[in-house]
Amino acid sequence: MTSRTAEIERNTLETQIRLSINLDGQGQSSFETGVPFLDHMLDQIARHGLIDMTVVAKGDLEIDAHHTVEDIGITLGQAFAKALGDKKGIFRYGHAYVPLDESLSRVVVDFSGRPGLFYQVEFKRAMIGQFDVDLFREFFQGFVNHAGVSLHIDNLKAGNAHHIAETVFKAFGRAVRQAITLDPRMAGMMPSTKGCL
């Protein structure tokens, strides 16, 4: 089997990011982003997606975390696109429902090659600790635009803000894991009637 790995380096005047992934990993991860709550959420993706992931980022956090969070989403999307290549043999679609106590979220993803984010998550407060909850949308928008996926994220039952965020990121990890898994019945075929994704 061809190695489904990628290393991406993204340098702008606002952020410097180095990111590596192994889509066929065991969920091992290491994060140094300067944004602790984002590290916690990225760990959910790695663990529940069984994706080995390393992220080292230096951003203009003296302004706020916006550029760092968005650019990590962009870089992660680029890494997925590179690691998946032509996408032959993958399941393509994935979905997951994940609860955490009173909160419940659903994520559905299609590695279609067409970027689209459909995000229905409302928080009752603007911050989780020092983290601005508006930045979750920015992270996923960056990912979607550069991975070329259609991504539906719906929080179905809301409660504690931390719980909502965890259900979203855990469900995202599990939905992605399902979609990128190689289907033995596809035997390297393209999961599209178009012949390409």
Question: What are the extents of the domains in the chain?
Answer: 5-180
Give the span between the Cα atoms of 24 and 4, in whole angstroms.
Answer: 7
Q: Smallest Cα–Cα separation from 142: which of 81, 89, 69? A: 69
pTM: 0.97
Q: What whole-number distance in Å separates Cα of residue 81 and Cα of residue 47?
A: 20
Mean pLDDT of 29-33: 98
**CATH 3.30.230.40, domain 5-180, yes or no:** yes
Q: CB burial class (10 A; 0-12, 13-18, 19+) of residue 15?
A: buried
Q: State the amino acid at position 120 in one-letter form.
A: Q
Residues whose CB falls within 8 Å of the CB of residue 55, separated by 6 or more in sequence, listed in order? 17, 18, 19, 30, 31, 32, 33, 42, 72, 75, 76
CA distance 159 to 2: 43
Percent of the chain beyond pLDDT 70? Answer: 99
Residue-wise pLDDT for 163-195, tens only, equals 999 999 999 999 999 999 999 998 888 888 888
Q: Residue 121 pLDDT more than 80?
A: yes
The answer to whether residue 24 scores a pLDDT higher than 70 is: yes
At residue 195, the pLDDT reads 81
State how far the Cα of 57 lies from the Cα of 42, in Å rounded to an integer: 13
Four-CA torsion 41, 42, 43, 45, nearest 10 degrees: 100
Per-residue confidence (pLDDT) for residue 1, from 0 to 100: 62
Model confidence at 147, pLDDT cuts 50, 70, 90, reads very high
pLDDT digits (tens, 9 = 90+) for 41-92: 999 999 999 999 999 999 999 999 999 999 999 999 999 999 999 999 999 9
- 100-128: average pLDDT: 97
Percent of the chain at pLDDT exceeding 90: 93
What pLDDT band is residue 2 in, cutting at 50, 70 and 90? confident
